[in-house]
Every structure is written in structure tokens, then in C-alpha cells.
């Protein structure tokens, strides 16, 4: 939509803000409507063909919490689901403004704003509404061997959200199945943040025992326990000024959750063996393959910790729900590994394309990546066919029933572990419980069998 044809409604109880926006936009848009009282929003939307609403986060009330803006955002989306809404916020309310994106806001601007930036934001939103599929964006990361690519609409929505929340300090929870790219997304968010030049520290907290959990995250003094031969800085301190990424957060115990919550609330850590707290300044990103509804069960996860780590959530879709991206990613990996293994450019014939599109990729992008890498290594020709693509046998090995008389006990145990882990979608805590093992004992068996 051309900006000159747009009608914009500005709702703010600050007269100076209304005047400033009106002066800025009166020559840019077809009509600018200003309103101090949010109670009048519905009637204004009914009487006018409004294309975009600029909505303040705070209105005069007994307590200004920013939730007033969230309330009126919900009402606007109830009355006019397709209307564009930009939230107006002060820097102190930026976390709440980020939350508004989850509630349906299209964007937010921070007071005082740059006039050119505000006009650009409004123009981009109206253009996106007019032609939502024309512009493709991506989020690139230098982590690992790949960028986060995607033309599929579900990925475009994620990229847009990331571009908005990355420059803030909002805590982020990344959800998704194993292999969907949660760790790459965390790294990409860090690289697009204002902390990009500071440390990015990753910890797989699901693999830590209670003792290791405290020592690894909070550090220890020499002599704090038997093997503490020197002072050691914890991961929180290592990440000071930067980003701390806690992977598999859904697998930590309630005791560990309580300790983590205390640190996040106080923004201080205390090394084992000392009573002296150390101030920490980190941006927290967490990830888990446990669905959010399961995390909401307080028997396994504290709700107060969920609220603390989940200012914004990003759900990485499984590859089977990104069908339009499968060939895009396959060609990217083919080019990547052809270069790595000094081979000529490699592509896929129609049989390979068909096979890739028909497979459901239970291992998601990670499985696709390893499948293409194997195919490139074994390739004798520059074009791969269906027979060159060998998918993981893990699913088959888990479900097949072997001849029990000729199978070693170790193989039976390995297959049983694989089956239970698959049943619980990779959740180690739940798998260990069903197997009658501690999580530590199960991790030892995973290392033993190289699972």
C-alpha cells in the first residue's frame, strides 16, 4: 500500500506525542486520526477505514504497568484481526513491548523515536500487508556449518520476529524438536544483538548432575570440593556482558531450577566455597525440545522460572512443516560439502528431488544435512539421484524386532534405550524415568553405545 493512501490512528494520552505524530504524518498519509482516550478506539475503527494503529503502552490509571497497552492491543485484534498495530513504548518498558509481539502487535517503536525510522516502519508494515510474500528475509549465523535459511512462510515469520527482538535484552525461549536448529538460532540472535562483540557461552544443562550444575554455571573456589584444585569461573561469569545459552533447559531438576531462578532474580552468582556474590550482566537464551504445555506442569517445571526465561518464545518448526525449504536446504548443503570435499558442483535430478520431498525427516534439518554430506562424499557424478540418498536407519533399528536368540545383551539394551528415547522425543529425563535409571546413568549408557 502506498503510504499516501493510508489512514493512521494514533492513541496516546500524552498530548505532546499526539501533536508530534500528527505534524510528522499529516503530509505523509491520507488521514491521521488522534485520540487520547482508548475507550473510543472501537467507535473510531468502526467509523473509519483505518489501516494502521499507533498505540501507547501506558495510559493514565491508578497504576501504569504497560499492561493497559496489552489490553487494548488484544481488543483491537479482537475487533479488527488484520489491522496493523505498532506499540509506542519507553525504553524501560521494552520487555513488555517485545511481549506485545506475542500478543499480535506487528512492531514497536521506542520513545523518543527518529522520525525517519518511524515513517520507514509504517511504510514497511503497510507494504508487507499489501504483498506479504514478495520480500524474503533470512537470518544468518556463523555458527556451525550453515546459515539459517528458509523461504517457507513459517520461517519468514520467525525471521521477522528475530529481527525485532534480537537488538533487545529480552530473554528468549526457543522451542522445537531435536535437529530443527535451536542452537543456530540462539547464535544468530546473539550475532544480531547489541552484545554481538561480547561472549556467547553455551551450556547443555540437561547433561549436568546437581553438583556439576552449580560448579559449571556458578563457578567454585579452590578446595570447595574434592576435585576443586583451583579457582574456576562459572559460565554466568564467562558470559558477562554477552549472551548465555542454556540448552535442554526442560531437562533440569526442580532443585536446579530453584538455584537458577535465584541467580536470574538477583542477577548475582556465588561461587561454590564462598559467600561473596558476583554481579552478572547477561542476555539469557534457553532452548528445549519439551513442548511448552508439558513445561507448564509444575510437577516438572516451575512456572515462575518459565515466566523468567520466556519473555519471548520462538518455535522452530520441524522440517516436515517446511516442505518448501527442503530442496533449498539440500542444495545449500550440497554446495557446502562439495566445496569442503573439493568436488565439482553437485545438484539433484528429479528422482532425488521427489524422494527428498516425500520423506518426513524425523531428524529434521540435522538429518537432511548428514544425508546430503554422505551423498556428496560417495558421489561419482555431479548429479545425485534417488539411489544416492540414504536416510538414517535409526527409525528402522528402533522399531525392528530382532531374533532374540542371536542378539547380544548389549545390543538389546542399546535398542531398548533408543526405543524409549524415541518414544519421549529425545527427552532424557522422561526416558530415564521409564527405564528405571538416573539421568546420569542413562547418559553413561549413551556414551557407552555412542548414541
- pLDDT tens by residue, 21-72: 999 998 999 999 999 999 999 999 999 999 999 999 877 654 445 578 888 9
Q: Give the span between the Cα atoms of 152 and 325, in whole angstroms.
A: 6
Element (DSSP H or E) covering residue 259: helix 254-266
Q: In terms of Cα–Cα distance, which of 276, 279, 214, 272 is closest to 241?
A: 279
Instruction: Give me the residues paired with residue 269 across strands.
Output: 278
Look up the CATH number of the domain holding residue 51: 3.40.50.2300
- What is the domain extent for residue 331? 319-392
Same domain, 261 and 184: yes
Residue 139 counted as domain residue: no
pLDDT at 93: 64
pLDDT at 19: 93
Of the listed ranges 18-32, 99-113, 398-412, 431-445, the least confidently predicted one is: 398-412
Residue with the bigger pLDDT between 349 and 101: it is: 349
pLDDT at 319: 94
Distances (CA, A) of 423 to 80, 377, 428, 434, 441: 42, 32, 11, 10, 19
pLDDT at 133: 44
pLDDT at 143: 39
Residue with the bigger pLDDT between 204 and 312: it is: 204
Q: Is the pLDDT of residue 423 over 80?
A: no
pTM for the whole structure: 0.65
N-term to C-term CA, the chain: 53
Of the listed ranges 141-145, 417-421, 432-436, the least confidently predicted one is: 141-145
Task: Give the E-state strand segments of 328-369 in sequence order.
Answer: 347-348
The H-assigned helical ranges of 26-106 are 41-47, 67-79, 94-102
Among 82, 99, 130, which residue terminates a domain? 130
Q: Give the span between the Cα atoms of 18 and 382, in whole angstroms.
A: 63
315-325 burial, b at 16+ Cβ within 10 Å, e below that, comes to bbbbbeebeeb
- Collapsed DSSP state (helix, strand, coil) of residue 314: strand
pLDDT at 142: 40
Same domain, 281 and 233: yes
Same domain, 115 and 62: yes
Q: In terms of Cα–Cα distance, which of 307, 311, 352 is closest to 330?
A: 352
Confidence grade of residue 214 (pLDDT, cut at 50, 70, 90): confident
Same domain, 226 and 295: yes
Q: Give the span between the Cα atoms of 190 and 381, in whole angstroms.
A: 40
Q: What is the DSSP letter of 148?
A: B
Q: Tell me what the pLDDT averaged over the chain comes to.
A: 84
| pLDDT tens-digit readout, 355-385 | 999 999 999 999 999 999 999 999 888 999 9
Helix pair angle (409-423, 428-435), 10° resolution: 130
| pLDDT tens-digit readout, 123-159 | 988 887 765 444 455 565 443 333 688 888 888 878 8
pLDDT at 150: 87
The answer to whether residues 421 and 449 touch, using CB atoms and an 8 Å cutoff, is no
Among 255, 284, 315, which residue terminates a domain? 315
Look up the CATH number of the domain holding residue 368: 1.10.8.60
Q: Give the span between the Cα atoms of 88 and 139, in whole angstroms.
A: 26
> What average pLDDT does range 210-224 have in this prediction?
82
Among 315, 342, 372, which residue terminates a domain? 315
pLDDT at 238: 95
Same domain, 303 and 253: yes
Same domain, 167 and 283: yes
The answer to whether residues 316 and 185 touch, using CB atoms and an 8 Å cutoff, is yes
> What average pLDDT does range 267-283 have in this prediction?
91
Residue 142 counted as domain residue: no
Q: Give the span between the Cα atoms of 413 and 409, in whole angstroms.
A: 6
pLDDT exceeding 90 applies to what percent of the chain? 44
Amino acid at each position: 500500500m502506498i503510504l499516501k493512501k493510508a489512514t493512521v490512528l494514533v492513541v496516546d494520552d500524552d498530548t505532546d506525542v499526539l501533536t508530534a505524530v500528527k505534524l510528522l504524518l499529516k503530509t505523509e498519509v491520507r488521514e491521521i486520526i488522534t485520540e487520547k482516550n482508548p475507550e473510543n478506539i472501537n467507535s473510531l475503527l468502526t467509523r473509519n477505514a483505518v489501516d494502521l494503529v499507533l498505540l501507547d503502552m501506558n495510559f493514565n490509571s491508578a497504576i501504569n504497568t504497560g499492561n493497559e497497552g496489552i489490553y487494548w492491543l488484544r481488543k483491537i485484534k479482537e475487533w479488527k484481526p488484520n489491522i496493523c498495530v505498532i506499540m509506542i513504548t519507553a525504553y524501560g518498558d521494552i520487555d513488555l513491548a517485545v511481549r506485545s509481539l506475542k500478543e499480535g502487535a506487528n512492531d514497536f517503536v521506542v520513545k523518543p523515536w527518529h522520525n525517519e525510522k518511524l515513517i520507514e516502519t509504517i511504510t514497511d508494515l503497510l507494504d508487507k500487508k499489501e504483498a506479504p510474500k514478495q520480500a524474503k528475509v533470512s537470518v544468518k549465523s556463523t555458527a556451525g556449518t550453515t546459515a539459517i535459511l528458509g523461504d517457507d512462510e513459517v520461517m519468514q515469520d520467525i525471521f521477522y520476529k528475530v529481527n525485532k527482538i534480537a537488538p533487545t535484552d529480552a530473554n528468549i525461549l526457543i522451542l522445537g524438536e531435536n535437529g530443527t536448529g535451536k542452537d543456530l538460532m540462539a547464535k544468530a540472535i546473539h550475532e544480531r544483538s547489541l552484545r554481538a562483540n561480547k561472549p556467547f557461552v553455551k551450556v547443555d544443562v540437561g547433561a549436568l548432575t546437581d553438583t556439576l550444575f552449580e560448579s559449571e554455571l556458578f563457578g567454585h573456589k579452590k578446595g570447595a570440593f574434592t576435585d576443586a584444585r583451583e579457582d574456576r569461573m562459572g559460565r554466568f561469569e564467562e558470559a558477562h556482558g554477552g549472551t548465555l545459552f542454556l540448552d535442554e533447559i526442560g531437562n533440569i531438576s526442580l532443585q536446579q531450577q530453584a538455584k537458577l531462578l535465584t541467580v536470574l532474580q538477583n542477577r548475582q552468582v556465588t561461587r561454590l566455597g564462598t559467600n561473596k556474590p558476583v554481579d552478572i550482566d547477561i542476555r539469557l537464551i534457553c532452548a528445549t525440545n519439551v513442548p511448552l504445555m508439558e513445561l507448564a506442569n509444575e510437577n516438572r517445571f516451575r512456572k515462575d522460572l518459565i515466566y523468567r526465561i520466556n519473555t519471548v518464545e520462538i518455535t522452530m518448526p520441524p522440517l516436515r512443516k517446511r516442505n518448501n525449504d527442503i530442496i533449498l536446504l539440500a542444495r545449500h548443503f550440497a554446495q557446502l560439502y562439495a566445496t569442503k570435499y573439493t568436488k565439482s558442483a553437485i545438484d539433484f535430478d528429479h528422482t532425488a528431488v521427489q524422494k527428498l520431498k516425500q520423506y518426513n525427516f524425523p531428524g529434521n534439518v540435522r538429518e537432511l544435512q548428514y544425508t546430503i554430506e554422505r551423498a556428496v562424499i560417495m558421489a561419482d557424478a555431479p548429479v545425485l539421484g534417488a539411489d544416492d540418498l540414504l536416510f538414517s536407519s535409526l527409525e528402522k533399528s528402533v522399531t525392528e524386532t530382532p531374533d532374540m536368540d542371536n542378539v547380544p545383551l548389549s545390543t538389546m539394551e542399546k535398542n531398548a534405550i533408543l526405543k524409549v528415547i524415541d518414544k519421549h522425543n529425545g527427552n532424557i529425563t522422561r526416558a530415564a524415568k521409564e527405564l528405571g535409571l538416573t539421568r546420569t546413568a542413562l547418559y553413561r549408557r549413551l556414551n557407552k553405545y555412542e548414541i
